[in-house]
Amino acid sequence: MSKKILVTGPDLDPSAVKLAQDYGFETVHTPAYADAAVIADLMKQSGAEAILSRMGRIDASVMDAAPQLRVISKHGVGVDNIDLAAAAARGIPVLMATGANAVSVAEHAIALLLATVKRVLPLDAGLRAGRWEKPGFLGRELAGARLGLLGMGAIAQATGRMAKGLGLEIYGYDPYAKPEVFEALGATRCERLEDLFAQSDVLSLHCPLTNETRGVVNAEAIARMPKGAYVVNTARGGLIDEAALVAAIRSGQLAGAGLDTFAVEPPAADHPFFAEPAIVLTPHIGGVTREAGARVGVEAVRGIIQVIAGEAVAPERIANRALLAGAGKTNLKAGE
């Protein structure tokens, strides 16, 4: 009888499915954005030992419904949809597919940057509506502008490398990043978050959503940015005070924003973002490419296989490692 992995979402890259099958696992799927009750019921029905988290929230109710659950593996790196403390209290490691989708998300960040600064969408709409808006138009050159990276993980580093090819100067803030990360990128390290805001003609967000970072881009932060600056977000919507962002665009403090993620997803039909042509919007698909899907899916499945087999897992992949140790749950092997 095959072991089960519950995938919270309707699909998974075939290469990841094959890896699971090669190790005797069967994948079972939930509908897209299933709620916790649906996920809990499917965990009971399937007897799955692992969850591969794509869509929907995994909270204590899901874990309590599945005493056989041994590991949760995120299809990506954003684990704000998983109750890390509840998992640690139950001895369940939460894994991340660190770096596997970095190139795809970085490319999307650059695409949003270019589309926003170069005003591609409103100009396209105007031309289609019969307007020739060249008279009176004045664009902006990106070469020589300052790109601020909030967070210096794999995605931020990939974004910075691409941005350097466009001639942008790179600044970064990340109190946890080693000096060599900044040196390798040729980035100026900002010691204070306030300094990053002040230096950012374009601010690109690449940090996790935590209690400390929720709403970090608020009215005060935006006021510190140069007038006419831009915000790009391919991380988590909750990092931005959305009302403050709209107000800053309407006042002219910000010239625009490129957003792939929102505080509530999908956003309501009457969300104020939709009324602002200076905001470019995409439906949280920065990492949704064939190439990234294969890498992320394989890494997520591989982590599950390692945990269930009792093999070592790279420490940086364990999102709740400190919480597990604090709870006295130290059965998980962590490779050095």
Domain spans, the chain:
3-100+290-326, 102-281
Cα 286 to its chain centre, rounded Å, is 8
Question: Which pLDDT score, from 0 to 100, does residue 323 have?
Answer: 87
pLDDT in tens, the chain (336 residues): 469 999 999 999 999 999 999 999 999 999 999 999 999 999 999 999 999 999 999 999 999 999 999 999 999 888 989 999 999 999 999 999 988 899 999 999 999 999 999 999 999 999 999 999 999 999 999 999 999 999 999 999 999 999 999 999 999 999 999 999 999 999 999 999 999 999 999 999 999 998 999 999 999 999 999 999 999 999 999 999 999 999 999 999 999 999 999 999 999 999 999 999 999 999 999 999 999 999 999 999 999 999 999 999 999 899 998 888 887 665 566 554
Please list, in sequence order, all residues whose beta carbon lies within 8 angstroms of the beta carbon of residue 147, skipping any fewer than 6 positions away: 159, 160, 163, 168, 169, 170, 171, 200, 201, 202, 204
Question: Which pLDDT score, from 0 to 100, does residue 325 have?
Answer: 83
- Residue pair 81/57 in contact (Cβ under 8 Å)? The answer is yes
The number of C-alpha atoms within 13 Å of 247 and in the hemisphere containing its C-beta is 12
Fold agreement between 3-100+290-326 and 102-281 = yes
Q: How large is the angle between the packed helices 154-165 and 102-117, nearest 10 degrees?
A: 50
Question: Which pLDDT score, from 0 to 100, does residue 15 have?
Answer: 97
> What CATH class is the domain 3-100+290-326?
alpha beta
User: Whole-model pTM?
Assistant: 0.86
**Dihedral angle of Cα 198, 204, 206, 210, to the nearest 10 degrees:** 60
Query: Strand 71-74 vs strand 50-53: parallel, antiparallel, or unpaired?
Result: parallel
Please give the positions annotated as active site. Answer: 236, 265, 284
Question: Which pLDDT score, from 0 to 100, does residue 330 have?
Answer: 54
**For residue 82, which phi and psi values (nearest 5 degrees)?**
-120, 135
Report the CATH fold assignment for 102-281: Rossmann fold (3.40.50)
- Residue pair 77/303 in contact (Cβ under 8 Å)? The answer is no
